[in-house]
Amino acid sequence: MSDTFTKAFEQADYHVSGHSPRSVQVLKEALEGYDSVLESDMYGSGKVIEEFQEKMAKVLGKESAVFFPSGTMAQQIALRIWCDEKGIKRVAYHPLSHLEIHEEDGLKELHHIEPVLLADENRVITLEDVVNMKEDIACLLLELPQREIGGQLPDYKTLQEISAFCREKGIRLHMDGARLFEILPFYQKSAEEVCALFESVYISMYKGIGGIAGAVLAGGHKFTEQSKIWKRRHGGDLISLYPYILSANYYFNQRQEKMEQYYKEAKELADFYKECHRVYLRPAEPVSNMFHVHFKAPKGTMESLLAELYEESGIGLSGHIREVNGQTSCFEVSIGDRYAEVPKEKLKGAFEKLDKKMREL
Amino acid sequence: MSDTFTKAFEQADYHVSGHSPRSVQVLKEALEGYDSVLESDMYGSGKVIEEFQEKMAKVLGKESAVFFPSGTMAQQIALRIWCDEKGIKRVAYHPLSHLEIHEEDGLKELHHIEPVLLADENRVITLEDVVNMKEDIACLLLELPQREIGGQLPDYKTLQEISAFCREKGIRLHMDGARLFEILPFYQKSAEEVCALFESVYISMYKGIGGIAGAVLAGGHKFTEQSKIWKRRHGGDLISLYPYILSANYYFNQRQEKMEQYYKEAKELADFYKECHRVYLRPAEPVSNMFHVHFKAPKGTMESLLAELYEESGIGLSGHIREVNGQTSCFEVSIGDRYAEVPKEKLKGAFEKLDKKMREL
């Protein structure tokens, strides 16, 4: 990342994406709401952790839920439990699943579970992919939305069909719901309704919710009890998880109801991008608070162009841009609290400038 | 635990063991010392985590150090790295090692590493145990002090001899130093000097140091780089570990120099116990801030007796007591900040009462 680009982004008056910066203030603010004498959780027990777990189980419509330090840990464990149950060390997921590309092969190295990669890198998993799969698997993992391709979603009917097929075939369906709350406005469903299609669900507390870190794994009682044993084995059963739990709870309460707003704002912002030359979006129409912006120009060119744009307009669109191939580059947009702070006129002006600059390339 | 006993302990005016209660205030106090705009660490990078790791590497005299969410995770990973290096999936440790009794067999279930149990449950590992071991092992783990037997230690000469023997035989020596700082006053050595006998060292940030949670694993650069990959695989490479790092740093700075005081206080307190009938200590003379108090009376009897003592004296000795066998029970003492707050006359009075009650049994 060029220093000029990063600096121009940081110094912009407004940032279009995300919540406030990930500074210590995020934790300080969350803690202000809690009494100092509130006792720490202790190795998975105590009021702080138990109450939050019960609350999340209810929100997700599952028998019980367990707080984990990370989704990486929670999901490997979910897949391991379903593999052990069926006696088959094979699961299926998308080739761009977090497990496949961001976890240093923990699933394979620690659990010796072999993945079957469904669909291809450009689209989400369909019913046909699942039906035509030749391998016997214990569990199918669906990521909703599929983050690495801009946050794409299957339609709800497909989800229902995949769920019905898996139940018929004795395949456990697990949800990577890192951004579950972010897609509910598109589906027009409650978390409970979507989760009912899955045997187990992981949600993240720091994506749209904006907590410090942490995850929740939910499912039937037997499943979550087993997950606690694996949590200890992984080294995730910390003496105190409350810094993450309290902030998760605080920001969940604050942002749960704002997902509809983020979704609308994402669509509004997408409309601005769509007007620009040499710019296209994935998905073409947002189905959550996120989407990817692709530029028909190399990364270096775009860094210079955007740095100028940020300086001239005072609007910072993104601080990270990545090469797609020699000819195109892209960044991710994820709408949070900051979008509402950006004056519309200034934003409009920035996009007029962007369009002009892209035409002049 | 009987409710009366727990309540009597909680309501006592003074608590002899430990630091302040593990409440949210512990985190709030630590955070007060840091600027709100301080940026979060991001998946193991950033000033907060890197500076603390460098500081700990220096304290421990190792090339580098890595912050982990837990010691369970850090130690399994250390043993895995040494096993992979040697191509032998076997390590040796004490039968009451944390890995053997508190981790749901994570080392075996996740890493398929087989332990050789050295010594017996009543004493620490000796040079003879190591020399006479028949099995080929990749790594020997020594826990200093051996917590489950009251915090016992080998003498320093034995440590040196074991270290020399392991180096000669190509066995990696790893330290479970959860309470490393607590034993330095007894050995009259620096952390660096003790660590120099070991290839890898784990220390805990919430025992004597009194942080919220977290651990540090230190060793050579190649070793710590490999540990970061395993940390990600385990699900321990969180987007933000700063709540633990900042509190670890804050309380380390505050308590590092107090270990000598805690050790002296432990010996003073031990002397009070020694005067009591039907009471004996493990070790007989403390070698750190901790020791175990054994009572020649069953748990139920001791709970009633101690509940009465706490109410009458205003002094709470311990809130947990466990059965050793039908005839004896015990609890752990671990000196922290609170001991200094207990008025000596009151403490003396409490022990006179304790002795009297024990005689009357």
Please name the amino acid found at residue A254. Q
Residues β-bridged to residue A293: A281, A331
| Contact (CB<8Å) A229/B104 | yes
Residue B239: list chain A partners with CB under 8 A. 22, 206, 213
| Contact (CB<8Å) A235/B22 | no
Residue A236: list chain B partners with CB under 8 A. 69-70, 73, 234-236
CA–centroid distance for A303 within its chain: 25
- In chain A, the percentage of residues whose pLDDT exceeds 70 is 100
B19 touches A: beta carbon within 8 Å: no
Residue B233: list chain A partners with CB under 8 A. 103-106, 109-110
Residue B2: which pLDDT band, with cuts at 50, 70 and 90?
A: confident
CA–centroid distance for A14 within its chain: 23
Q: What is the CA radius of gyration of chain B?
A: 21
B67 touches A: beta carbon within 8 Å: no
Residue A291, classed as helix, strand or coil, is strand
Cβ pairs A/B, distance under 8 A? 162
**At a CB cut-off of 8 Å and minimum separation 6, what does B348 contact?**
B272
pLDDT of amino acid A2 = 77
Evaluated on CA atoms A69, A70, A71, A73, the torsion sign reads negative
- Cβ–Cβ under 8 Å, residues B291 and B282: yes
**Exposed/middle/buried for residue B234 (C-beta within 10 Å: 0-12, 13-18, 19+):** buried
Contacts 24+ apart (CB under 8 A), B263-271: B263/B182, B263/B185, B263/B186, B263/B288, B263/B289, B263/B335, B264/B185, B265/B289, B265/B335, B265/B339, B265/B340, B266/B290, B266/B291, B266/B333, B266/B335, B269/B16, B269/B333, B269/B335, B269/B339
Q: How far is A244 from chain B (nearest CA, A)?
A: 8
| Contact (CB<8Å) A106/B233 | yes
Locate A122 and state its tokens: 């450009």
Instruction: Encode burial over B82-103: b for 16+ CB neighbours within 10 A, e otherwise.
Output: bbebbebbbbbbbebbbbbebb
Evaluated on CA atoms B156, B160, B162, B166, the torsion sign reads positive
Residue B83: list chain A partners with CB under 8 A. none
> Of B103, B233, B242, which has the smallest distance from its Cβ to A24's Cβ?
B242
Using CB atoms and an 8 Å cut-off, which of residues 262-321 of chain B contact chain A? none
What's the pLDDT tens digit per position in B283-306?
Answer: 999 999 999 999 999 999 999 999
Q: Where do you find CATH 3.40.640.10 in chain B?
A: 41-239
> Of A21, A26, A235, which has the smallest distance from its Cβ to B76's Cβ?
A235
A71 touches B: beta carbon within 8 Å: yes
Q: Which option is the CATH number for B41-239: 3.40.640.10, 3.30.365.10, 2.60.40.10, 2.60.40.420?
A: 3.40.640.10
| Contact (CB<8Å) B233/A24 | no
Using CB atoms and an 8 Å cut-off, which of residues 227-246 of chain B contact chain A? 229-230, 232-244, 246
What's the pLDDT tens digit per position in A161-194?
Answer: 999 999 999 999 999 999 999 999 999 999 999 9
Q: Hey, what CATH class is B3-21+258-360 in? A: alpha beta
φ, ψ dihedrals at B234, nearest 5°: -75, -10
B35 touches A: beta carbon within 8 Å: yes
- Cβ–Cβ under 8 Å, residues A17 and A344: no
pLDDT of amino acid B41 = 98
Interface test with B, best of A239, A244, A245 (most B CBs within 10 A): A239
B36 touches A: beta carbon within 8 Å: yes
Q: How far is A14 from chain B (nearest CA, A)?
A: 17
Q: What is the CA radius of gyration of chain A?
A: 21
Residue B42: list chain A partners with CB under 8 A. 22
Locate A281 and state its tokens: 């979006």
| Contact (CB<8Å) B24/A42 | no
Interface test with B, best of A1, A6, A27, A52 (most B CBs within 10 A): A27
CA–centroid distance for B202 within its chain: 10
Q: Give the pLDDT mean for A232-241.
A: 98
Q: How far is A273 from chain B (nearest CA, A)?
A: 29
Nearest-angstrom CA–CA distance, A310 and A318: 9
pLDDT of amino acid B220 = 98
A206 touches B: beta carbon within 8 Å: yes
Locate B293 and state its tokens: 């108090």
pLDDT of amino acid B192 = 98
Q: Give the pLDDT mean for A201-208.
A: 97
Nearest-angstrom CA–CA distance, B89 and A108: 18
Q: Quick check: ipTM above 0.95?
A: yes
Please name the amino acid found at residue B117. L
pLDDT of amino acid A1 = 65
What's the pLDDT tens digit per position in A134-154?
Answer: 999 999 999 999 999 999 999
Residue A46: list chain B partners with CB under 8 A. none
Residue A99: list chain B partners with CB under 8 A. none
| Contact (CB<8Å) A24/B34 | yes
Residue B244: list chain A partners with CB under 8 A. 243
Q: Where do you find CATH 3.90.1150.10 in chain B?
A: 3-21+258-360
Q: Give the pLDDT mean for B46-53.
A: 98
For B130, other C-beta atoms within 10 Å of its C-beta total 22
Q: How far is B312 from chain A (nearest CA, A)?
A: 26
| Contact (CB<8Å) A31/B27 | yes
Alpha helices in A112-220, H assignment, sequence order? 127-131, 156-169, 180-187, 191-195
What's the pLDDT tens digit per position in B3-17?
Answer: 899 999 999 999 999
| Contact (CB<8Å) B37/A25 | yes
Interface test with B, best of A24, A70, A237 (most B CBs within 10 A): A24
Q: Give the pLDDT mean for B156-174.
A: 98
User: Is B57's pLDDT higher than 70?
Assistant: yes
pLDDT of amino acid A188 = 98
User: Is B1's pLDDT higher than 70?
Assistant: no
Locate B120 and state its tokens: 């017996």
pLDDT of amino acid A93 = 98
Q: Taking all residues of chain B, what is their mean pLDDT, rounded to a whole number? A: 97
User: Is B153's pLDDT higher than 70?
Assistant: yes
Q: Taking all residues of chain A, what is their mean pLDDT, rounded to a whole number? A: 97
| Contact (CB<8Å) A105/B37 | no
> Of B70, B235, B238, which has the smallest distance from its Cβ to A106's Cβ?
B235
Write the CA distances from A76 to A108, A119, B50, B355, integer angstroms. Answer: 9, 21, 28, 54
